Structure 1
Amino acid sequence: MRIHRNLSFAVIDGLTLIFNEGKYADKVIQQLLKRDKRWGSRDRGFVAETTYDIVRWKRLYAEIAEVKAPFDRDNLWRMFAVWATLKGINLPDWKYFENTPTRKIKGRFDELSQIRKFKESIPDWLDEVGEKELGAEFWTKEIAALNEQADVILRVNTLKTTKEKLQAELFDLNIETEFIKGYPSALKLKERANVFSTEAFKNGHFEVQDASSQLVAEFANVQPGMRVVDTCAGAGGKTLHLAALMENKGQIIAMDIYANKLHELKRRAKRNGAHNIEPRAIDSTKVIKKLYDKADRVVIDAPCSGLGVLRRNPDAKWKLQPEFLDKIRKTQQDILQQYSKMVKADGQMVYATCSVLPSENQEQVAKFLKSEAGANFSLIKDKKVSAHKSGFDGFYMALLECKA
């Protein structure tokens, strides 16, 4: 494999923004890919995957390169050299790579691979939390799985097409997919491809959504004609799935504290042909109180640490701080206490997170059930999805019923 100068410069520029200016990796990469219209899919793939790779393994590569944050450009070139060496790529004769100690890099890698926090490239505090909550054996397997590149999974929009029809439509574009057992609306890409440029996407035949995330709407056990409240709807990935499961019948009230996300949901709903969604911004407690005892189903896709989705957001482990975990646990319990009041008698509620930590998941549900607000609720079932067992994102979901 040959390394091209302009692509390598794009990677270094991207890493500067991510590591030194705190920019989000996905947004930075989106901008980088627009830099040169002459780049083909292979060039764009190199920029995106190399940037994500170095972000994912930042701690390991920095330790091997003997550099410390904040990283100047020379430091970043040294980390790039570590990445290339470990990938078995011959370094070009550029000044940035002069005196790169190839043998020493491989030796250091073997040495540091014996220590989990270096091998899996995570902060000390996060390694300690993971081991404490999940146990050493489980955490070692889970964090290794969360460092693997995520597959591209599509959710078929059954309001407009079927899984079989979409598979055939994509096959005609040389995009091969396969069904996933146990995930009724999912198609997995056999190879990465730019699916967003297809007519199938523009016509609303699918959304890109991880297989684990697709389980949440299924878990809510919705039926056509129900009144469903999606309380932390965001840009609406799960809302759109609920609309499809309800066959566009009934009402989905999609709520969020961020009005701009609901604007994006409106746009996506139009493309998906989902007509039973009503966005409502939570700008005061009145919005919640108006719905007390009115919902057949309440879905709480709660804000969380996001540890279960590190494969697609590898920079999150560098942005996450211990104090945020304490804060988010309080927020999760507050949300459960308030939003549960919208469930009517004999109605049901789903509490879900994309975290693998019990303190954000089953412990929050147990705490809620012991509280005054949870007195009328009972746990019907819950599901813990781990990345190393499922091959997809780490998730948790609990289905609770409000007794009459």
Structure 2
Amino acid sequence: MKLYAAHLHAIAEALQNIFREGAYADREIARILKADKRRGSNDRAFIAEHTYAIVRYYRLYAHLAGAEPQTKAEWWRLMGIHLLLNGIDLPDWREFKDLDRSTLQSALEEARTDRALRESIPDWLDVLGEEQLGAEWTATIAALNEQAPVVLRVNRLQADAAAVTESLAQEGIVVEPLAGDALLVTERKNLFRTKAFQRGLFEVQDYSSQQAAPALEVEPGQLVVDACAGAGGKSLHLAALMENKGRLLSLDIHGWKLEELKRRARRNGVTNLEARPITSTKIIKRLTGKADRVLLDVPCSGLGVLRRNPDAKWKLSPESIERVVQEQQEILTNYSRMVKPGGKLVYATCSVLPRENGDQLRAFLPSPAGEGWEVEEERSLLPQRDGYDGFFISRLSRTR
């Protein structure tokens, strides 16, 4: 498509807010796209795609530019570098003077010999990744820089895969079946405007994330607790697996996220869910020994979902990872007490780091809180091997 100054003004504004004001990329891009209602779908797609791409390779582009951008002109130069290296011819504007594709390609080839530069990540993260994943790290971080596939989860309370596939096809959206309730979208379109979405026939949820709820082995009629529910993607999945029977408690420390869950639950036709904010430790204590199943999709570094949130690598730090590891230990120790003898717990993260995953189980089991617990299953999903988000899922059973 033709390159317009308005496109680049929008991208530059988003980038400056993301990197200078600490805005989250997804929210900032959504704000930018809503700011001008005159933009067509192609314009919005161009702005979103190239903003995300520059965020993803920010360090590499800044290296090629000679320094991190500070002025408006430097942000435009950074955008020009990205566009040239992606085969887009630049107009003869003063902002792009002295940019030459062949010169940039030579500099790019040299920069690619350095993994941290090539994959555009902080040096400390490159060191940590190799320390944690060894030979797997190079392929893992490369895969996490690829564009994420779009996967849907069929809401079996409202429809089956065939009905969702047919409904989407009527609106020009083609999907392919994966295992379980998953459908792979083969062409990126606005799914949230479809009749199928508005009727609650599906949710957008990565294939790896869809493995967490089934791992809990819930049954209709049970008391199930989703203790770190957030906006509730996995709670909705659990409700469907429970066939709307029994009691599903969705807990979170952030009440505003639970309000979003309630709205989604209504659209999904979920009737057995109760959203409850964790306002004190009493909420957990009152449930001690009562739950048949507990899902702990704990806060984590989010390194397994960098493809969706590429700005996260610039917001993380060694200190923030230390804090989240400590928080995970506390949640596993305290929240596991809700499970009654004979019950089961799933501990899950969207991280690829063993210290957030299997290492947490190894620390929990010999502790006083881990007495009477056994690991039934443990899976690490890696993007280069499994094709979707990096994820960790483990199921533990309480024998006494």
Normalised to the residue count of structure 2, the TM-score between the two structures is 0.99
Give the one of 385, 389, 392 matched to 1:396.
392
Amino acid at match of 1:84: L
Q: Cα distance, 1:289 vs. partner?
A: 0.5
Contact kept, 8 Å, 2:8 with 2:76, in 1: the verdict is no
Is 1:244 the equivalent of 2:240? Answer: yes
Q: Deviation at 1:189?
A: 0.7
Aligned residues: 400
State the shift of 1:72 in Å.
2.0
| Deviation string, structure 1 residues 105-131 (Cα, Å, up to 9, x no partner) | 111101111110011000000000000
| Residue 175 (structure 1) aligns with | 173
Following superposition, the deviation at residue 104 of structure 1 comes to 1.7
Structure 1 residue 35 displacement after superposition:
2.5
Correspondence 1:280 to 2:271: no
| Pairing partner for 2:329 from 328, 333, 343 | 333
Quote the offset at 1:218 in angstroms.
0.9
Matches within 5 A, 1:356-395: 356-395=352-391
- Does structure 1 residue 349 correspond to structure 2 residue 345? yes
Summarize deviations over 1:188-219 as a string: whole Å, max 9, x none. Answer: 11010000011111111111110000000011
What is the CA-CA distance between 1:78 and the residue it aligns to? Answer: 1.2
In the TM superposition, residue 73 of structure 1 has moved relative to its aligned partner by 1.4
> Which residue does the alignment assign to 1:229?
225
Contact 1:65 1:105 in 2 (8 A): no
1:145 equivalent in alignment to 2:130: no
Where has structure 1 moved over 6 Å in runs of 4 or more? none
Preserved contact between residue 56 and residue 121 of structure 1 (Cα < 8 Å): yes
CA RMSD of aligned residues (A): 0.9
Cα separation, 1, equivalents of 2:251 and 2:332: 15
Written as runs of structure 1 = structure 2, the 5 A alignment for 1:66-215 is 66-68=66-68, 71-135=70-134, 137-180=135-178, 183-215=179-211
Partner of 2:49: 49
Measured in 2, the distance between the counterparts of 1:81 and 1:108 equals 15
AA in 1 matched with 2:15: L
Tell me the alpha carbon deviations over residues 89-114 of structure 1, each in whole angstroms, 9 at most, x when there is no partner. 11101111112132221111011111
Distance 2:37 2:320 in 1: 40
Amino acid at match of 2:30: Q
**Counterpart secondary structure, 1:170:** helix
Aligned partner letter, 1:85 = L
Are the equivalent residues in 2 in contact too, given 1:234–1:256 (CA < 8 A)? Answer: yes
Q: Is the 8 A contact 1:226 1:251 kept in 2?
A: yes
Look up the SS of the partner of 1:39 in the other structure.
coil
Post-superposition shift, 1:389?
0.6
